[in-house]
Amino acid sequence: MSITLKQVFNKDKTFRPKRKFEPGTQRFELHKKAQASLSSGVDLRAAVALPHGEDLNDWVAVHVVDFFNRINLIYGTVCEFCTEKSCPVMSGGPRYEYRWQDDHKYKKPTALPAPKYMNLLMDWIEVQINNEDIFPTSMGIPFPKNFIQICKKIICRLFRVFVHVYIHHFDRMILMGAEAHVNTCYKHFYYFSTELNLIDRKELEPLKEMTSGMCH
């Protein structure tokens, strides 16, 4: 790992504050279990399967928060090169353009420069994962009935960060020596999302060729 990469990934140079799991809670233990299986070099496809006896919502919650933190870091490494001038639209090559829509300012899908879209996206996710009614931190407090649907939308939008970074900024990742880290994170995200049916196949189209070579 290069010095630059150590600075980037080890110093919490996050795009925004991290959401952490409290030690001693069941979700913290699940988080540790997920992390341990990753660091032991096991098959990523096997690592994402729901462990026997564990609750699906808990497993998804732990991963969604973790992916948010990690993808945040990845975008944080290229955000100074992702400007309104270099990326006037949020896209994944000429064939795919993503428009922003939310329940507040952008009621209709709106074309935005990539950095603006990314900021809105990260804010939108951050608000949800810090909302106790959606991501309860205390055991015994139930998840909302539509929790998996909420997570599907978060996963779908996080995938678009990978699309943009891979198609428009991967040369920067290579220069920083970060491509192995990003590829591992992507594979983990891809296997998790597809194993648990959290993403629509059509959303995967922009990186289909790359994925078929990377995730056999």
156 is in an annotated binding site: no
- Taking the C-alpha atoms of residue 52 and residue 117, their distance in angstroms, rounded to an integer, is 38
SS3 138: coil
104 is in an annotated binding site: no
- Taking the C-alpha atoms of residue 101 and residue 106, their distance in angstroms, rounded to an integer, is 5
**CB of 174 closer than 8 Å to CB of 191:** no
Cα–Cα distances (Å) from 179 to 29, 165, 173, 206, in that order, read: 29, 11, 5, 18
SS3 127: helix
Q: Which residues are annotated as a binding site for Zn(2+)?
A: 82, 87, 164, 169
Annotated binding site: 82, 87, 164, 169
